[in-house]
Structure 1
Amino acid sequence: MASVVELSARYANFLVHPLAPGVGVCQICRGPARPGYSTCRRCHEAGDVLGVGVADVVVPISLALKNGQYANELWRYKNTHGPQRAHFLMGLAAVMWRFLAAHEPCIAAHCAVPGFDTVTTVPSTSGRAEHPLRAMAATVVGATRDRYRELLSATPAAAALGRTTSADRYVSTAVWGKNVLLIDDTWTTGNHAQSAAAALRAAGAHRVAVVVLGRHLNPAYGDTTEHIDRAQLRRFSWEVCPLRNGAHS
């Protein structure tokens, strides 16, 4: 069986490091932000709605560009079946595993905690019976499976909420005083992940960090092309920490 390094190696050819927070870059999701603003519109709205319920930090592993290879695989691991789904699930699991093995300690340090007691995933609100992300984190990824707990479930109101951010989208099992690593596959608006973070907070979580496999961006939308061009100037490296914006010493 191929190792995590072997399975994840090919992804370095098309993963794209998110830009560091700064002028024109949202300090939360790393997407485009209008000049003069520290966050994008969606993250600003989530903060207004959820207040202190938002995650302590959001860490995208890579940009996922619409119609690009990575975005395509993030779609296929959920929407294909049989050997094809297994192929993409194992590849993305290797990406998650390799990333967390290298950089989870820095994410914990950013949250001022020694580590994360518990790992969980953002549940589907589309009626999917068994989300492959849960299988990935709970059974495949060695960096998460021993800490995985199925904490979150959609509320009856979730379907009517559409894509909006809401503290009423999910409910969580009690996690008093726990530090939770919340994993999602794709961040487009962030509304689902931040709503899940709020549910964990309401259930007693001390710190919540969100790690996302792909920060979705559409190159054809607004000023996103320039943002992507800047990000693609740097070749992807597994050693680059998303929070330090460089390799760990």
Structure 2
Amino acid sequence: MSYRRFRRPTRENWTVDQWVAWLKSQDFTPSVTPAEVGVCAICRAPTPIGSQGTHFARCFPCNSQYSTVLTGFIPICYSVHEGLEGALWRVKNEESSGWLQLPLASLLWTFLNNHLKCIEDAYGGPFDLGVTVPSSKQRNGLNHLDDLLSCIKRWPIAWRQGVLTKTRRESAAERRQRIVPDLFAADSDVNGKRILLLDDTFTSGGTMASAAHALRDAGAACVIGIAFGRQLNASREEARDLLAELPQRPLDLETCPVHGLSDFDLFLMS
């Protein structure tokens, strides 16, 4: 699999704002709008056109399955093969690309610093803790997302490591667009807690939904998903118009990701 390579800036010890400015200059983090015609109100994937000649308001997996475990989902950016997907893959798989943790952590910190309060208000109140979706890739003995979070000392939310454990290996096809109930196990400390669940990308949604299932099964009061990238599939016809538009969508961390969504869109459990 071939991904774009990113040149590390020569200057050291950049601030969060400087790393975000670098991300904007690279043009691989196109923004996600709160609501737009032809896009799933939950996961922000393009939806097909129904028999009435209009786009479905939600994609089938969100409407039929994911609403049973996820109270909501917030993607920071859209992700495509030669863009954010490549940066996330390199962070996860290449020691030499570990420096990309710095701009990605800065992206997440800025997004949460700007919008966490609005997200909490929209979904019923403050989060008790943040949890990462585990993977098989580790650096410094940490899940690659936990390692990324360690780049910044003070977060606007309390992240806790080791809450979720991956209980078995599975193929990507096995978890695609469906919940795998025994894929993860969750610590009983989540009982009654409101959880913000972080993953790197949301592609078919099966991994995040399976992790949310484990948290809910352990008693979590609600689970809101967040991901760096909402992956788009160039082979899907309904995605082509949106993909063609993304180069004209620079990274915007000021626009609130939940303002503009209706109550129907925000509360999947209702």
TM over 0.5: yes
1:128 equivalent in alignment to 2:143? no
1:23 equivalent in alignment to 2:37? yes
Query: In the alignment, which residue of structure 2 is the partner of 1:10?
Result: 22
Determine helix, strand or coil for the equivalent of 2:112: helix
**Number of equivalenced pairs:** 235
Query: In the alignment, which residue of structure 1 is the partner of 2:103?
Result: 91
Residue deviations 1:61-120, cap 9 Å, x none? 00011222x222111111111xx332111111111111111111111111111x111111
Counting only pairs closer than 5 Å after superposition, residues 117-196 of structure 1 correspond to structure 2 as 117-124=128-135, 127-129=136-138, 130-138=142-150, 140=152, 142-143=154-155, 146-156=158-168, 158-159=169-170, 162-164=174-176, 165-174=179-188, 175-196=190-211
Instruction: Name the aligned partner's letter for residue 213 of structure 2.
Output: A
How many percent of aligned residue pairs carry the same amino acid? Answer: 29
Displacement of 1:224 in angstroms is 1.0
Q: 1:80 aligns with which of 94, 99, 105?
A: 94
Distance 1:198 1:239 in 2: 31
Distance 1:150 1:105 in 2: 25
Residue deviations 1:37-61, cap 9 Å, x none? 22223334533xxx63x21111000
- Unpaired runs of at least 5, structure 1: none
RMSD value, Cα: 2.3
1:128–1:162 Cα change, 3 Å? farther
C-alpha contact 2:193 2:220 (8 A) present in aligned 1: yes
Distance 1:72 1:147 in 2: 25
C-alpha contact 2:78 2:231 (8 A) present in aligned 1: yes
C-alpha contact 1:107 1:209 (8 A) present in aligned 2: no
Q: 2:85 aligns with which of 62, 71, 89?
A: 71
1:12–1:44 Cα change, 3 Å? same
Distance 1:213 1:141 in 2: 19
Displacement of 1:34 in angstroms is 1.4
1:118–1:242 Cα change, 3 Å? same
Q: 2:57 aligns with which of 17, 38, 41?
A: 38
Distance 2:257 2:243 in 1: 16
